[in-house]
Amino acid sequence: MPIKVPTGLPAFDAIKAEGVSVTELNTVTDNTQRIALLNLMPMKETTEKDFIRILASSSEEIELTLMKLDTHTPKHTAPEHMQRYYKGFNELRSSRFDGLIITGAPIEKIEFEDVTYWQELCDIFEWAKSNVTSTLFICWAAQAGLYQKFGIQKHLLPNKMFGIFPHYILRRDYPLFEGFKAEFFVPHSRHTNVYRNDVLAENRIELLSESDSSGVYIMQEKGTRNFFVTGHSEYPLYTLDEEYKRDVSKGLPIELPLNYYTNNNPQLPPVGRWQNEARKLFCNWIRYYVKK
């Protein structure tokens, strides 16, 4: 609930206007959890709101630093916004954080080495080993981390994995899943996948949660506090609706998101069935893995 963000960040006021219980943290103490958000998503301000909203569900004091790449200039966010509210990797190299969140990016069909900022991202992965207590790799970042660290390949799906899918837990003794139901739901929106057998064959990784429909979900790098999360638990209710209707309006091939709309009718509201576990996921991550 108490969170410190860059002064004047529009996303903070937008979250408060939604009625989310979030307060501005003015004094940073030894009890404050310092979390960096490496925002690779194209619509930066939307993603800022998504993560401030979900992090604000934690009772811990949080100082959120917005992190950007030095070798990439975003096309969909004003340069003034990036300059005012974000800090580049070079500026943060000497900093230490309790937590790091690396978001997804809509570049799944590009080979990792062909991504223009791949080398800088690899440098950040290495930097995090000694400068971050716990790292959360999300969606494309999870695939990128699994590839860079363990050589696990991503594979193009015949159809986009798009919708809300049921998941189950393989290690219920993990504090990460405290308060979870036996079956819980997670949003997915991606064109590539990681094979389960490849994960199980790597003895440096433990598979913690998966889905019969959407595949592996959460993996942990053994001996660390690093987690690879293939879904988008941070998504608010209408994100998949916006993605679907955007692609329809552009005439792009897109199927209805599964298990999402009331009666599978895009003219009816979505059914929110993942938010409770989503909040618990981030709260548990902060409480048991970020907090020293």
What are the structure tokens assigned to 56, written together? Answer: 């604000």
Q: What is the pLDDT of residues 234-262, one digit of tens each?
A: 999 999 999 999 999 999 889 999 999 99
What is the spatial distance between Cα 88 and Cα 70, in angstroms, rounded to a whole number? Answer: 6
If one counts every other C-beta atom within 10 angstroms of the C-beta of residue 120, the result is: 17
> Helix, strand, or coil here: 166?
strand
- By C-alpha distance, which of 97, 109, 27 is closest to 289? 97
Catalytic, 45? Answer no
What pLDDT is recorded for position 95? Answer: 97
DSSP conformational letter for 262:
G
Q: In the chain, what percentage of residues exceed pLDDT 70?
A: 100
Can you tell me the mean pLDDT for 125-132?
A: 98
CA distances from 240 to 60, 162, 282 (A): 29, 8, 20
- Which pLDDT score is estimated for 29? 87
Q: What is the bridge-based pairing of β-strands 62-68 and 2-4?
A: parallel
* Residue of 108, 191, 232, 283 marked active site: 232
Determine the Cα–Cα distance for residues 97 and 117; give it in Å rounded to an integer.
22
How far is it, in rounded angstroms, from Cα 133 to Cα 96? 8
Q: What pTM was computed for the model?
A: 0.96
User: Is 48 in the active site?
Assistant: no
Paired tokens of 143 = 């695939």
Print the SS3 string covering 214-242.
Answer: CEEEEEEECCCCCEEECCCCCCCCCHHHH
Least confident of 23-37, 107-121, 142-156: 23-37
Contacts of 262 (CB under 8 A, 6+ apart): 268, 269, 270, 271
Nearest 10 degrees: Cα torsion 156, 161, 165, 169? 20
CA-to-CA dists, residue 276 to 85, 152, 164, 237, angstroms: 30, 31, 14, 12
Distance (Å, whole) CA 21 – CA 15: 9
To the nearest 10 degrees (0 to 180), the angle between helices 10-17 and 44-55 is 60
The C-alpha atoms of residue 209 and residue 219 are separated, in whole angstroms, by 7
- The answer to whether the CB of 177 falls within 8 A of the CB of 209 is yes
Please give the pLDDT value at position 9.
94
Q: Active-site residue among 234, 243, 277, 283?
A: 234
pLDDT score of 57: 92
Kindly compute the dihedral angle of the four CA atoms of residues 37, 40, 43, 47, in this order, to the nearest 10 degrees.
Answer: -30
The whole-number average pLDDT for the span 24-46 is 93
Q: Which of 115, 29, 32 is nearest to 72 (CA)?
A: 115
N- to C-terminal Cα separation, the chain: 19
Catalytic residue among 63, 108, 139, 188: 139
The pLDDT score that the predictor gives to residue 292 is 77
Mean pLDDT of all residues belonging to the chain? 95
Averaged over 107-115, what is the pLDDT? 96
Q: Mind listing the domains of the chain with CATH numbers? A: 2-290 (3.40.50.880)
| pLDDT band per the 50, 70, 90 thresholds, residue 284 | very high
The Cα 83–Cα 133 span in angstroms is 27
Q: Has 167 been annotated as catalytic?
A: no
